[in-house]
Structures are given as C-alpha cells and as structure tokens.
Amino acid sequence: MNLTTAKRVGRGLMTCLFVLVAACGGGAGGGTKTVTVDFRYADVQSDTLVPLSVVPILTGLDGRNPTCTLSSGVVPPGMTFNTSTCAVTGTPTVGGAYTLYISLTVEDVQGSLFETSSITIIDPTPVLSIDRASLGGSGPLSADMNLNYGQPVPPTSLSTLFSASVARQGDVLTYALAYGSLPSGIALDPATGKVQGTPTGFGVSTVGIAAALTRNGIAYTSQTLYLTLGVYAMSLSISYPNCLVGVGTVVSCAPQLGNPAAFAGLALAYTATGLPAGVSIDPASGVISGLLAAVGDTLVFVNLRAMYPNGAVVDVPNTTATLRAADVIPFYEPTGDNVGVRLGPSLDGLGDQRVVLQPGQAFAINVTSYNLSVPGDVNVFTLVPWDASSTLPSWVSIDASTGRVFGIAPVAPEGGSWRVRLVTTRGGVPYSFERRWVVSNT
C-alpha cells in the first residue's frame, strides 16, 4: 500500500489518512482504501515529583504498528518519550511549559501525521527571601542582624518572613534549621518562619533556614537561606550626680544608669577607691553612703563589673563620683526701712558688713538664709566682741535662735563693731562661722 495523500482535519478532532491502495506488480484489480486515524493529545498540567503519563488518543490503525518521532521540543526532565506508544511518561523534576511536536508514521503506509502536546509542570518548591521591610535595610541575604543582649526581639524587627512561590488549599508550609544553630534564647517559629526571642548569650551564629511545602503527601524543600545573627552586649554606662551635702551630714549617692534596659537580668558588683573615712559603697547597688565630716571635695573612682547569665563579664571602670561637703555659712541682709545705708558688702575682704544708721534709729538686721541647712541642725547665734580689747555695744542685741540683730542707735555720735558667731551642731559635731559688723550713726 502506498500512502498518496494525508489530510489533517484538525487538533483535537478526528485526523484522517486517506490511503490509496494499489495492487503490487502492475496487475489489475488495484484500488484505494481510506484509513481514518484519531490521533490527539490533551493539554496536561501537573506538579514536579508527581508521576505523570501523557498518552495520546490513537485509534483507527486497523492493527498496523505506529511509530512516533519527536520532531522538535524537549520532554520535561525526568520524563521519557516512547516512540511505539507516542506516550510521555515519568516523574518531572523541573517546572516549565513544554510543547512537543510529534510526527506519526504507520506501518506499510507512506506519509506522516503531526500533532502537538502541551505539558505544563509546576514546581511548588518554596522560594525563600527576607522581608526587607521588617529588617529595616536592604543588604544581601546573609546580612548581619544584630541582636542586643537580653532584650526581647519584636517579631517585626527580626522576622524572616519567607513565602512559597505557589500555594494551594491543603498545602502545609513549615520552616526548619538546615544548618547551624540559633543564638541561645532565639528560636525559629516553624509555622511562620519568624526568628525571634530574647538572647541569653553572646556570639555570632551563621544559620541556614529551609522551608518545606507538603502537597498531597509530597514534600518540596527550598534552597537553604543563610543568615548571620550577631548577639552583642548593649552599652553599659553609669554616672553619679553631684553628691552635695552639708558638712557633718550623711551622704547617700546612687548611680544613674545610662541605659537601664541594658542592665536587666545582670548581676552587678560595684567597688570604689578613694572613699573618705566613714564612707562606703554598696557592692550590689553602687550607693555611696556615710558621714562627710570635713569640708571639701573628695573624688571617688567607681568600678562596675556586670556578670551575664552565660558567664560573660563586662567591666565599666573608673566612673568618677565627687563627694562634696559644704560648710554652713549664714548670709546677713539688711531688711526693712530702718536699717540705714549699707556700705559694703566687705570692708577688708574678711566678710565685714558696714551700715550707717541715723541717731536714735531703731534697726534690725535679719539673717535671711543658711547655706545647706538640713533638718536636725541646731543653730545658735551669739554676739562676740570685735577683738579682745573691745566690748560689745550696749544698744545691740541678737536673737540666739534666728540670728536677728536689733537695737536703737544712740543719739550721741557713736560707732559700734562686733562679730556674729554661728555655731551649727550637726550629727553631734559643732561647726562655727563668724562674720564681723561695723555700724555707726555718723
């Protein structure tokens, strides 16, 4: 039989071979025979790793053996093309759209037919990427993500929000460590892919994370995404305020933490050098306390050692604290309308006060303030002669508890001079200060 004509009716419809049959050897009785062949492929879509068989409809050969040839195109990796059955079978391993052009020849028939097979393979393997918005930057995938020691990591700041390239109802997506180990206190949420927690140790960890999509019992595992997580100590700093008290007063001076959150959960040990006698530092709180018995400034050096739960130690050395003990000094200021004219404030640089009064004028000079007077102070004011050779004016008096100096200036021209002595007893210790006054009515 010789195939003299082949006509394709259309894809997906009946394909007919019109075959002219002639007798061999030139004898009479030749004729034609029509062979009708149905040869077509359905469009196919499937996932990788799922066994697949793409078999064409092929009927009407009347027992003849077909032969198929792949004219162009490639079969999906993992699958093979059978020339006898025209079927494409196997387990595809790579996703993509594959179009095969296939020619069909039939035994003892001349000519051929052509058909196409469209095979779409979907690869559900997850593709991992970092959620840049949640990390606040745009570095490479292995960019360092610094964790502060001992501080909870908000999910949005360190969340590695991975996503699968495809998703269907019934898919189960999970995340797991594929390499290395996370810093202590940090964990990977297998359901969301978020890396979060509260670090409990120092160090730099390189980890690999992979996602697995389970679909219809088949697990598709992503490539490994590598991240570098560094856990570092937060900055530790302390300072001491101006520790100022009156002399003879118990000082209590506490450190101020530069970054309070950084000290959470740490064991602290304070030591100090240069402490004056009677003053000590609490090793746990850093509070400096004790009685300051001498006027002046004392510079103290405080050393802090912070001990972390994982055994690491960080030292903060040589923080200075100034302990200042000030004397108690009364300040006398004329008040009222009848105190004359003040000619001062200093006569000879020794704190003298000079006031001119009118003859017969009643006057009062009040003490308006005390420097660093504290509860418990006992103040006693007395008038003292100017020097050993002088006596107190008879027309001058003083209130021993307030220091108010008062009197009536004599009518006859007369000057007066004296010393006001303040004795402050604090903590059982007496402290004395004197100021001299010169008053006249001329």
Closest CA relative to residue 113, chosen from 76, 64, 52, 80: 64
C-beta of residue 298 within 8 angstroms of C-beta of residue 216: no
| pLDDT tens digits for range 140-170 | 334 456 777 777 766 545 555 555 456 788 8
What token pair was written down for 35?
A: 């062979």
| E-strand stretches of 295-428 | 296-307, 313-326, 330-334, 341-342, 353-356, 362-370, 378-385, 396-398, 405-408, 415-426
DSSP 44-62: EEEETTS-EEE--EEE--T
Count CB-CB contacts under 10 A for residue 299.
Answer: 10
| pLDDT tens digits for range 209-263 | 898 999 999 999 988 888 888 888 888 999 998 788 878 888 999 999 988 888 8
Angstrom distance (rounded) from CA 417 to CA 396: 10
> Helix-strand-coil percent breakdown of the chain, rounded to 5?
0, 50, 45
**pLDDT given for residue 165 in this prediction:** 55
Fold of the CATH domain 238-326: Immunoglobulin-like (2.60.40)
Residue 368's alpha-carbon distances to 91, 334, 353, 359, 371, in angstroms, are 101, 9, 15, 25, 10
- Please provide the average confidence, as pLDDT, over all residues in the chain: 79
| E-strand stretches of 189-336 | 195-197, 203-215, 218-221, 225-232, 238-239, 243-246, 249-253, 256-257, 267-273, 279-281, 288-292, 296-307, 313-326, 330-334
Q: With a cut of 50, list the residues of the chain below it in pLDDT.
A: 1-29, 135-143, 156, 164, 336-338, 340-350
**pLDDT given for residue 335 in this prediction:** 55
Q: What backbone phi and psi angles, to 5 degrees, belong to 24?
A: -80, 155
225 - beta bridge partners? 209
Contacts (Cβ under 8 Å, ≥6 apart) of 420? 330, 332, 381, 382, 383, 384, 398, 403, 405, 434, 435, 436, 437
**pLDDT given for residue 32 in this prediction:** 59
Q: For domain 2-122, say whether CATH 2.30.30.280 is its number.
A: no
Torsion of CA 334, 338, 340, 346, to 10 degrees: -10
The pTM (predicted TM-score) of the whole model is: 0.56
Side-chain half-sphere exposure of 356, counting CA atoms within 13 A: 4
Q: Where are the domains of the chain?
A: 2-122, 132-232, 238-326, 330-440
C-beta of residue 175 within 8 angstroms of C-beta of residue 193: yes
C-beta of residue 212 within 8 angstroms of C-beta of residue 173: yes
Angstrom distance (rounded) from CA 396 to CA 409: 8
Fold of the CATH domain 330-440: Immunoglobulin-like (2.60.40)
Q: What backbone phi and psi angles, to 5 degrees, belong to 261?
A: -65, -30
* End-to-end CA separation in angstroms for the chain: 159
Fold agreement between 2-122 and 132-232: yes
C-beta of residue 321 within 8 angstroms of C-beta of residue 240: yes
H or E segment to which residue 132 belongs: helix 132-135
Fold of the CATH domain 132-232: Immunoglobulin-like (2.60.40)
